Amino acid sequence: MKAAVLHEVGQPLQIETISIDKPSPREVLVRTVAAGVCHSDLHFVEGLYPFRLPVVLGHESAGVVEAVGADVTHVVPGDHVITCLSAFCGHCEECLTGHPSICDGRETRRRQGQPPRLAQDEKIVQQFANLSSFAEQMLVHEHALVKIRRDMPLDKAALIGCGVTTGVGAVHNTAKVELGSTVAVIGCGGVGLSCINGASIAGAGRIIAIDRISSKLDLAKTFGATDVINASDGDPVEQVKELTGGGVHYAFEAIGLKQTAEQAFEMLRTGGTATLIGMIPYGEKIEIQGADFLLEKKIIGCAMGSNRFRVDMPRYVDFYLAGKLKLDDLLSSHIKLEDINEALQALKTGKVARNVIMFDS
């Protein structure tokens, strides 16, 4: 099959032919229909997070089941599915206490001594985030996908596979935004816009979008922002405090920078919660005022929107089909797999929400 392979950090992905194995017990072979190009993929291309090479990147996708291995019960060939990097075992402490998004998923991967799922010229090609969706097919554990209704367009469904679930889930599952509360979202890319959309669905009273690109701030209004702040026009923390009379109940950082993570905490009112969604470069530390904890301000992490994706994703599909989730406005353009490097470069400009790779049917 055709796939985009990363052989060396900092170098373009190469479109090459690789082999994919047959499904083993509990595994599912999926024909990839659509795959979003997410900023997280760029982090690994740039080496901000280490990973074994060569690897097929991609982790935001939807497709159609082609074949299943023994003991698979969740899907059958022909089913439409969304994949999720949060592959869960189902019986560890994290899973059994309702936190499957932080299960290490070790049991859903092939063990040492088994043939690799992906290979090239008899050499192992690493699978990324349990998926590797920059390829015509994916071979995954059944706990890395969820069946969805067939009337859901798969290009929009792919967006739910990461960015939408991360942003909406951060609001509903991680921070648990309360009705009528004030919310600030730093960064209006795909995840940030989904966060704004989620806050609107949750009934937040005031939603403040913060970015440096005017077109993204205009788009944020479509997703439910009641106020916008251009961070180029001055200190966004002071602007948020002025707008709200002292700070917000909830702040979300959706970029992955030290400075904006610190700003999210600084713009809180007494008792507020800052949720860090963005991937801050590996090894980097953030600094906050210790005295603020006496005011019961909180800062929390977020793993993929604290998702229970087998429950959450079908609900997000229903939200979209009911007109509540703005996926059409989130999708910047359809591209081909051969355009992957240009799409990754476009992420650096900050001007696109999501480009989606469409594979030939």
For the stretch 289-333, pLDDT in tens is 999 999 999 999 999 999 999 999 999 999 999 999 999 999 999
Residue 7 bears catalytic tag: no
Q: Please count the structural domains in the chain.
A: 2
- 218 backbone dihedrals φ, ψ, rounded to 5°: -65, -40
Residue 172 bears catalytic tag: no
**Final residue of a domain: which of 302, 325, 347?**
302
Check: CB of residue 97 under 8 Å from CB of residue 24: no
Indicate if 329 and 341 belong to the same structural domain: yes
- Average pLDDT over the chain, rounded to whole? 96
Which CATH number does the domain housing residue 239 bear?
A: 3.40.50.720
Looking at residue 172, what DSSP letter applies?
Answer: I
Choose, from 59, 80, 141, 143, the residue flagged as catalytic: 59
Choose, from 39, 40, 61, 80, the residue flagged as catalytic: 40
Range of the domain at 16: 2-161+306-358
- 291 backbone dihedrals φ, ψ, rounded to 5°: -65, -25
Indicate if 10 and 152 belong to the same structural domain: yes
Indicate if 157 and 18 belong to the same structural domain: yes
Indicate if 284 and 323 belong to the same structural domain: no
Looking at residue 164, what DSSP letter applies?
Answer: I
> What Å distances lie between residue 178 and 182, 200, 235, 332, CA to CA?
9, 11, 27, 31
Secondary structure E strands in 155-303: 182-186, 206-211, 227-230, 248-253, 268-276, 298-301
Indicate if 135 and 50 belong to the same structural domain: yes
Indicate if 8 and 149 belong to the same structural domain: yes
Sequence-distant (6+) residues with CB within 8 A of 180 are: 203, 204, 205
- pLDDT tens per residue across all 361 residues of the chain: 999 999 999 999 999 999 999 999 999 999 999 999 998 999 999 998 989 999 999 999 999 999 999 999 999 999 999 999 999 999 999 999 999 999 999 999 998 889 999 999 989 999 999 999 999 999 999 999 999 999 999 999 999 999 999 999 999 999 999 999 999 999 999 999 999 999 999 999 999 999 999 999 999 999 999 999 999 999 999 999 999 999 999 999 999 999 999 999 999 999 999 999 999 888 899 999 999 999 999 999 999 999 999 999 999 999 999 999 999 999 999 999 999 999 999 988 877 888 999 997 5
Check: CB of residue 266 under 8 Å from CB of residue 234: no
Indicate if 91 and 239 belong to the same structural domain: no
Residue 38 bears catalytic tag: yes
Choose, from 38, 95, 103, 302, the residue flagged as catalytic: 38
Which CATH number does the domain housing residue 45 bear?
A: 3.90.180.10
Residue 91 bears catalytic tag: no
The candidate with the shortest Cα–Cα distance to 60, out of 78, 33, 80, 79, is: 33
Indicate if 157 and 284 belong to the same structural domain: no
Indicate if 52 and 145 belong to the same structural domain: yes
Indicate if 155 and 197 belong to the same structural domain: no
Indicate if 56 and 99 belong to the same structural domain: yes
Q: What angle do CA 105, 108, 112 make, to 5 degrees?
A: 105
Residue 99 bears catalytic tag: no
Task: Quickly list DSSP for 15-74.
Answer: EEE-EEPPP-TTEEEEEEEEEEE-HHHHHHHTTSS---SSEE----EEEEEEEE-TT--S
Choose, from 43, 80, 172, 249, the residue flagged as catalytic: 43
Choose, from 103, 162, 188, 302, the residue flagged as catalytic: 162
Indicate if 332 and 346 belong to the same structural domain: yes
Check: CB of residue 251 under 8 Å from CB of residue 274: yes
